[in-house]
């Protein structure tokens, strides 16, 4: 089985599981009131939007299969939890980043803001939107815990999985806080960017989904730690690459306007390396473009040129290759890992290092 | 033992447990970065503020003791979870209500807003405050789950407790959503207010803490349901009384400016009953005062008079007595409930029906 087949076979099952669970919760909310139904319905619509890739849920399944888990039905249920946790974080993140669109549709707070615009003032509509966004995110969080608890695994496996989920949220919130703090400071060090990549992406999106899968299969601490050594460099490589694509990609390949990250003032490894290596004139150019709301393609290209000329891009490419190679080596050191799961993860790692969209 | 002795003996232990746990988490955050330490430190300061009553944690302990739980040390640890969940909800609620003060100090989002005021614009400081408030609340949520998972109870008891905690959060979020929706509509029905009281207060602050205590003692579903029949009317009586005090109390007894609830436009049972029974002239008076930012004592007194004259106050008093009596009867029907825990809960119920501050 190759990753593509595995992916399409499981993605649909995850979506079905989420749909079934969220239908039950919507009916429960409806019993309280029409308004509660609206909130839960909005959470369902958001979580089931077509563009969600479900990669995190697939990693839970691969961590489980890797350590010999065989209950294909229950692991689909359990793995769905991470997509609700992901909704939770995205909904809150969109308030923090003041984003209007998510997966091609209004963000949660914007959806609720629009819903009352005709009857409330602009200020009150905005507050209503943010309030409902906060609550919708909070709701997703408890629903994520709930769907995990409802899967039929042993109480021991589930309590361990919950402890890991607590860690996951602790880590990702720290990563987001780092990111929010970084927005308030002019200069962000490579170490700080590495930490944001590690906590906001590598641990949350790669390490802990895999570990939770492993835990549900009954893996021991030492095996889980080996899995972490595979997952963290992979996640960091993924984020460096993702930010590179954000810097270099065109709208049709990256799905958002070219230079969006520059416009948002996002601190990335490529940019940080360029700033480290450029001369003072070039530094001024980068700083004037970064966070500028009305920058155009010419500005974007000037930053791209500096990143290229200083070798920052090439160095990012080297970093990605190093992290991927470290990652694959670590995976090969786990003797008792299922061969199919291993080859799917290797394929994923290769895909990440080469992906262009 | 009377409630007062029980209360003071346990409150300090809960605070110590919370302090110990949050110190560990702050050290963990510090290992990531100084900024992460700041966030976790702020969560600790907020949670340990002196004015917190810890009533919810005491109810967990009483639910546990009532059903024969005897591990006094571990139940203190487990019960602390609810105070972190409470921090979580308060921090988010303060953003929603745009409150500046909590427990006599700045709310979480205001604290972070102030911290960057000297270096960022007003808009950016406000966004930073709200962002960090959202994240600080989210952090408290996962910490609440974590401290519960770390207490030494059986995995079976803990998985049941987590499922109940998931329900608790589901319910309280629905209650808060009802409240937020109610702010957007001119008229709120008694049924809607009852639902807000039930979900935002009775289930969250009374029923589910008691049930989680019972679960940790190994109580069965049927006993827990009997406990719910005690807790829900008690919680509703508490909230009707709390809102009455908000309407009638003076600053020195209620700890906030007289008429604050009127100023905030809060929908309460007393007001809803008054609106139902008054004539059209009186209705206009109430509606003109409700939500008015610059109302004075004369306005407040006019509303108080209408509430009195229409019999709304008397009817609220009757409702409270009815709910309390229903509640006490339900408690007395649980045969296998520990006598000391029962008498403490009866004392609490009597206190709630008579309290004046």
Give me the pLDDT at residue A353, please. 82
Interchain pair A184, B154: CB under 8 A:
no
- Tokens 């249920």: give the residue: A77
Model confidence at A252, in pLDDT bands (50, 70, 90)? confident
**Cα–Cα distance between A13 and A98 in angstroms, integer?**
32
Burial B198-230 (b: 16+ CB within 10 A, else e): bbbbbbbbbbbbbbbbbbbbbbeeebbebbbbb
Segment A52-78, tens digit of pLDDT: 889 999 999 999 999 999 999 999 999
Segment A267-323, tens digit of pLDDT: 899 999 999 999 999 999 999 998 888 899 999 999 999 999 999 999 999 999 999
Interchain pair A131, B166: CB under 8 A:
no
Please provide the DSSP assignment of B27-45 as one string: HHHHHH-HHHHHHHHHHHH
Give me the pLDDT at residue B356, please. 65
User: Which run of H or E residues covers position B314?
Assistant: helix B312-332
B56 token code pair: 């919810």
Q: How many CB atoms lie within 10 A of CB A355?
A: 11
Mean pLDDT of all residues in chain A? 94
Could you tell me which chain A residue has the CA closest to the CA of B195?
Answer: A32
Q: How many CB atoms lie within 10 A of CB B121?
A: 10
Residue among A28, A30, A36 with most chain B CBs within 10 A, to mutate: A36
Which residue from A28, A146, A155 is facing B156, i.e. has the nearest CB? A155
- Tokens 């009857």: give the residue: A119
Which residue from B36, B142, B184 is facing A178, i.e. has the nearest CB? B36
Given a contact cutoff of 8 angstroms between Cβ atoms, the answer to whether A56 and A86 are in contact is yes
The torsion angles phi and psi of B281, rounded to 5 degrees, stand at: -65, -45
Q: In terms of DSSP bridges, do strands A101-102 and A105-106 run parallel, antiparallel, or are they unpaired?
A: antiparallel
The torsion angles phi and psi of B106, rounded to 5 degrees, stand at: -60, 140
CB contacts of B88 in chain A (<8 Å) are 138
Q: Is the pLDDT of residue A144 over 70?
A: yes
Residue among B166, B185, B195, B200 with most chain A CBs within 10 A, to mutate: B166
**Cα–Cα distance between B135 and B113 in angstroms, integer?**
13
Q: Which long-range contacts (CB under 8 A, 24 or more apart) does A118-122 make?
A: A119/B184, A120/B184
Nearest CA to A26 out of A12, A7, A10, A45 is that of A45
Q: Is the pLDDT of residue A349 over 70?
A: yes
Largest Cα separation within chain B, whole Å, is: 64
Which residue from B149, B177, B199 is facing A163, i.e. has the nearest CB? B149
Which residue from B32, B173, B184 is facing A174, i.e. has the nearest CB? B32
> A264 to chain B nearest CA, in Å?
13
Given a contact cutoff of 8 angstroms between Cβ atoms, the answer to whether B159 and A159 are in contact is yes
**Cα–Cα distance between B321 and A340 in angstroms, integer?**
67
> B156 to chain A nearest CA, in Å?
6
Listed in sequence order, the DSSP H helices in chain B are 3-32, 34-47, 55-66, 72-96, 108-116, 122-150, 155-184, 190-196, 208-216, 221-248, 251-254, 260-264, 269-277, 280-289, 297-309, 312-332, 339-354
Which residue from B35, B134, B192 is facing A134, i.e. has the nearest CB? B134
Which residue from B142, B159, B174 is facing A36, i.e. has the nearest CB? B174
For the ranges A1-5, A210-214, A253-257, B266-270, the lowest mean pLDDT is seen at A253-257
CB contacts of B131 in chain A (<8 Å) are 95-96, 180
Give me the pLDDT at residue B300, please. 94
Nearest CA to B131 out of B115, B145, B118 is that of B115
**Cα–Cα distance between A103 and A122 in angstroms, integer?**
25
Interchain pair B145, A139: CB under 8 A:
no
Given a contact cutoff of 8 angstroms between Cβ atoms, the answer to whether A228 and A215 are in contact is no
**Cα–Cα distance between A168 and A228 in angstroms, integer?**
13
**Cα–Cα distance between B98 and B119 in angstroms, integer?**
23
Segment A104-126, tens digit of pLDDT: 899 999 999 999 999 999 999 99
C-alpha R_g of chain B: 21
Could you tell me which chain A residue has the CA closest to the CA of B116?
Answer: A184
Model confidence at A241, in pLDDT bands (50, 70, 90)? very high
**CATH superfamily, region B155-357:** Farnesyl Diphosphate Synthase (1.10.600.10)
Q: Is the pLDDT of residue A357 over 60?
A: no
Listed in sequence order, the DSSP H helices in chain A are 3-32, 34-47, 55-66, 72-96, 108-116, 122-150, 155-184, 190-196, 208-216, 221-248, 251-254, 260-264, 269-277, 280-289, 297-309, 312-332, 339-354
Where in chain B is CATH 1.10.600.10?
1-152, 155-357
CB contacts of B145 in chain A (<8 Å) are 145, 162, 165-166
Identify any residues that bridge with A125 across adjacent strands, giving them in sequence order: none
CB contacts of A203 in chain B (<8 Å) are none
**Cα–Cα distance between B236 and B287 in angstroms, integer?**
25
Interchain pair B181, A35: CB under 8 A:
yes
Which residues in chain B land under pLDDT 50?
357
Q: Which CATH number fits domain B1-152: 2.30.29.30, 3.40.640.10, 1.10.600.10, 3.30.365.10?
A: 1.10.600.10
Burial A330-343 (b: 16+ CB within 10 A, else e): bbeebeebbeebbe
Predicted model pTM: 0.95
> B139 to chain A nearest CA, in Å?
6
Q: Is the pLDDT of residue A195 over 50?
A: yes
C-alpha R_g of chain A: 21
């Amino acid at each position: 089985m190759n990753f593509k087949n595995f992916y399409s076979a499981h993605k649909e099952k995850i979506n079905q599981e989420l749909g079934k669970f969220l239908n039950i919760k919507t009916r429960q909310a409806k019993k309280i009131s029409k308004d509660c139904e609206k909130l839960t319905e909005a959470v369902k619509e958001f979580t089931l939007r077509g563009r969600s890739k479900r990669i995190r849920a697939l990693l839970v399944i691969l961590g489980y299969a890797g350590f010999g888990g065989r209950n294909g039905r229950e692991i689909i249920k359990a793995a769905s939890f991470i997509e609700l946790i992901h909704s939770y974080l995205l909904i809150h993140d969109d308030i923090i980043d003041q984003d209007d669109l998510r997966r091609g549709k209004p963000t949660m707070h914007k959806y609720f803001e629009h819903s009352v615009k005709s009857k409330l003032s602009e200020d009150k509509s905005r507050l209503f939107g943010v309030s409902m966004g906060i609550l919708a995110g909070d709701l997703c969080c408890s629903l994520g815990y709930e769907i995990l608890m409802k899967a039929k695994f042993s109480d021991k496996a589930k309590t361990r999985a919950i402890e890991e989920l607590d860690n996951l949220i602790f880590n990702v919130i720290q990563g987001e806080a780092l990111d929010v703090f970084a927005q308030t400071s002019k200069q962000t060090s490579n170490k700080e960017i590495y930490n944001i990549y590690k906590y906001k992406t590598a641990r949350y999106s790669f390490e802990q989904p895999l570990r939770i899968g492993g835990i549900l299969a009954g893996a021991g601490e030492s095996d889980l730690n080996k899995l972490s050594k595979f997952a963290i460099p992979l996640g960091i490589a993924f984020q460096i690459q993702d930010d590179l694509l954000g810097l270099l990609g065109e709208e049709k390949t990256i799905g958002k306007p070219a230079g969006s990250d520059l416009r948002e003032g996002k601190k990335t490894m490529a940019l940080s390396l360029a700033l480290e290596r450029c001369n003072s004139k070039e530094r001024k150019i980068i700083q004037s473009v970064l966070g500028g709301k009305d920058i155009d393609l010419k500005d974007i290209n000037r930053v791209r040129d500096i990143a290229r000329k200083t070798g920052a891009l090439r160095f990012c490419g080297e970093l990605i290759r190093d992290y991927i190679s470290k990652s694959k080596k670590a995976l090969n050191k786990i003797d008792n890992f299922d061969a199919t799961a291993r080859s799917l993860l290797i394929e994923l790692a290769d895909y990440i290092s080469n992906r262009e969209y």
